[in-house]
Structure 1
């Protein structure tokens, strides 16, 4: 779908980590009017509010990022709520977009949709193989349901879509929740606090699981490319996996922590390994613009400057 001067892009979840970065990316690009929508503008779990918002703005393309999302502990503690809230939001946004005549939806999925049963690196064609990992099943099934709805709407109504199977994102404006948040912002908050208090850092699990971490500024650039010229499910990742222990080592260096790291092996690791085939994304011309260490340093420095007001 090529951009035209009349294109209107609507971004849900615009006040969140990915939303802020994507709105900036789209506004920096020529040829698209960008509308930023957050929970202050509409409660997407309520269909009437979602439809009113969609008909008011009449977007050409919708980037649907809004979600109820936490880290592994938060998802484990609220499986039902994660499922229900996300199903409601996704269903309402897609149906309201159809009624409002939206041409394309670019939806934020999650790598949680993949099962431990699939081969590595994970490829988009195997997204339906096996159940998702139990630690995030409620959230993952809601995301799978969104993909099923998008496929059904394409088949019946001709609505074009892309479904971004996103790896772990991080960056400025993240939610730095040490108890229930995602691993990187949680660690950044822990390391910053430990340095301030001159105390060691205790990290959940063994440190052995490997993850693919994508800087949010790079993710935003990738999503703009996807919106312009890709349809279907697509992995949104760097293609490079790194262990939690090695990430912690980088943060120890960046933060200047003097103490040895401590590991709480009573806490869950989650999936042992996640790596992704990013051939489809690379074919669009995408390459990450930042190294992991550089992106971690920028995020840590942003948090250090904004820790009193950062989201938790």
Structure 2
């Protein structure tokens, strides 16, 4: 997937690099040999700068002088906290994204690739959802603050292009999981939270409590697959319009929970708390546009990826269970 089409030296700044996707990009670039000759990569996290602050954002850009940015930094949490604090997630993420995009523009950054979320999809819509339908109705009310903040990146990208000709774009991954995720029940993505719960229940001899019915269906995308495609997007994708990155097949959360239990050799009881919200029942996205660009890309099979994530979690339990 690498290309030599751009011979100019690249200085790529990755924000939010300590998170799930940032760690995956580091692995692809530094471990899988994904870095091309003439490229320099800089990975920063909240320890390097609070991107809600415009001064700190400017300082970190001046330090690294990027030609390209992969923007992953965001204030995120699990569904419970997103629903409880919609206003704060809206305000914090709007600040982060505006500071990053405007500083990139001021410092003449050639390319910015931002990472959105499948929660931006309209709550009431027809399926499958494609890239043209993102703004066709409000997102699910449970996390509207975070969702609207992420949608605004797409709006800003279009505005920077129309007014300044900037090639700032975005990707929309679906339900990402993998090593280095947050595996806590409060803040983790659904699969990672269940992995953390299930392993803890195995150690303590208790049951696993899963929020909701387990019936919603999701397209679960392995973080390393997403990272490989995002590196390609940074180098090759020329559109301002977003690109959905996802596996084709859907899996019910209940089926994914069973795969997790099998992967962790958990023999105990699994309880579905139907008093808790399921969120959206479906978020089915089409991968037709992605396949036009990368027809031969092979995603890691979901069950295999879940097993690898469980194995990583057990092997790194001391650092992962935080």
- Partner residue of 1:184? 191
Measure the CA separation in 2 of the matches of 1:220 and 1:114: 21
Query: Is 1:116 matched with 2:123?
Result: yes
Query: Is 1:241 matched with 2:250?
Result: yes
- Return 5+ residue gaps in structure 1 as ranges: none
- Partner residue of 2:307? 297
TM-score (norm: length of structure 1): 0.96
The answer to whether the 8 A contact 2:184-2:197 is kept is no
| Shift of residue 198, structure 1, vs aligned partner | 2.3
- Partner residue of 2:175? 168
| Shift of residue 311, structure 1, vs aligned partner | 5.2
- Partner residue of 2:271? 262
Size of the aligned set, in residue pairs, is 312
Measure the CA separation in 1 of the matches of 2:314 and 2:41: 30
155-164 or 25-34: bigger deviation: 25-34
- Partner residue of 1:207? 214
Measure the CA separation in 2 of the matches of 1:177 and 1:50: 29
- Choose which of 24, 27, 34 in structure 2 pairs with 1:24: 27
The answer to whether the 8 A contact 1:162-1:226 is kept is no
The C-alpha deviation readout for 1:35-66, integer Å capped at 9, x for no partner, is 11111111100111111211222211100000
- Choose which of 12, 18, 25 in structure 1 pairs with 2:15: 12
Cα distance change on mapping 1:71 and 1:4 into 2, 3 Å: farther
Measure the CA separation in 2 of the matches of 1:225 and 1:284: 10
- Partner residue of 1:52? 59
Measure the CA separation in 1 of the matches of 2:77 and 2:263: 25
- Return 5+ residue gaps in structure 2 as ranges: none
Moved over 3 A (4+): none
TM-score (norm: length of structure 2): 0.93
Q: CA RMSD in A?
A: 1.5
